[in-house]
Amino acid sequence: MAWCFDSHIHLSDPEYASDMEFLLRQMECLKIKACCVSVDCNSSLRTLELSKKSDLVLPFIGVHPERADQSPENISKLIEENHGHISGIGEIGLDATYANQSEDGKKQSRMFETLLALAEKFNKPVSIHSRNSLDDVFETMTSYDTKHALLHWFDGSKKQLQKATDMGFFVSFGPVTIYANDKQTLLSKADQSKILVETDGPVRFSRCFEMKSGQISFIPSVIFCASKILGRPFDDMASLLEKNSNSFLGIWG
């Protein structure tokens, strides 16, 4: 049986704290590993502590664009000190939603490029936030290695999906794919060797999820949805995603 991967989840978010022991046991039972991303220095420290409790928690540390007003020096120091223990760097990126002034955009770009440079230095995969900023992310990433870069929660156009493919990015799809036609169309047109799945918990989902926050247990449902869209048996889809996840993480190739 293949291992499943949640390629992007905020397990270090306080919302999960009271249920953490149950979640870790659940991950063992369901054979799911989680790329646990962080949003700032404090959550990065919690992520590192969480990864000590279970080797199924793959720690990614970084600064979300919403928190880019923090000093790049602090997170850089944390990465330098822990590069041997982390699985990747994230959540990092750009987001025009949080750039109300030109200086905000400059801070985001400075933080993003600082962390991309560290990812290259230590040969770590990156989990990238690109909402409303895909073209700017593409432009920035022309100067960096993209073969272990994930555009998490891909929400671009078909043309941008092709650009992502041409640049060698991985793209991930989450629970919303189960009920959103536009996401299903994007998934159907993605390079199958570059597809990953995620929950982005504790983001909440409507429709069949009744506004519940994203749970690691949603992953089999997302895999089942992908298998139907791509016309592959569930086990075959799960095996493909395991291979892709390991490739993203640099475990294979």
List domains and CATH numbers for the chain.
4-249 (3.20.20.140)
Q: Is the pLDDT of residue 55 over 80?
A: yes
CA 25 vs CA 7, 12, 32, 82, 111: distances in Å: 18, 16, 10, 26, 35
d(CA 239, CA 185): 22
HSE (CB half, 13 Å, CA atoms) of 55?
A: 0
SS3 label, residue 243: helix
- Tell me the percentage of the chain whose pLDDT exceeds 90: 90
DSSP-derived 3-state class of residue 123:
coil
- CA atoms within 13 Å, Cβ hemisphere of 222: 29
Q: What is the pLDDT of residue 253?
A: 44
Which letter does DSSP use for residue 192 in this model?
Answer: G
pTM higher than 0.85 for the full model?
Answer: yes
How large is the average pLDDT for residues 164-172? 98
Give the pair of three-digit tokens for residue 208.
């069949």
Helices and strands counted in the chain (H then E): 9, 10
C-alpha triplet 221, 175, 165: angle, nearest 5°: 105
Cβ–Cβ < 8 Å for 205, 152: no
Average pLDDT, stretch 216-227?
Answer: 97
pLDDT digits (tens, 9 = 90+) for 74-117: 999 999 999 999 999 999 999 999 888 879 899 999 999 999 99
Beta strand pairing status for 212-213 and 204-205? antiparallel
- Separation CA 48–CA 50 (nearest Å): 5
Transcribe 66-94 into DSSP letters: GGTTS-HHHHHHHHHHHTTT-SEEEEEE-
Would you mind telling me the total number of residues written for the chain in this entry?
A: 253
**Which residues are within 8 A (CB) of 81 and not within 5 positions of it... i.e. 6 or more apart?**
none
Residues paired with residue 195 on neighbouring β-strands, in sequence order: 171
Dihedral pair phi/psi, residue 20, rounded to 5°? -60, -45
136, pLDDT greater than 50: yes
Alpha carbon distances (Å) from 12 to 17, 52, 203: 7, 12, 13
Regarding predicted confidence, which is higher, 53 or 213? 53
- As beta bridge partners, residue 246 has none
Other residues' Cβ atoms within 10 Å of the Cβ of residue 173: 26
pLDDT digits (tens, 9 = 90+) for 186-212: 999 999 999 999 999 999 998 878 888
Instruction: Tell me what pLDDT residue 252 has.
Output: 61
Pair 249, 11: CB distance under 8 Å: no
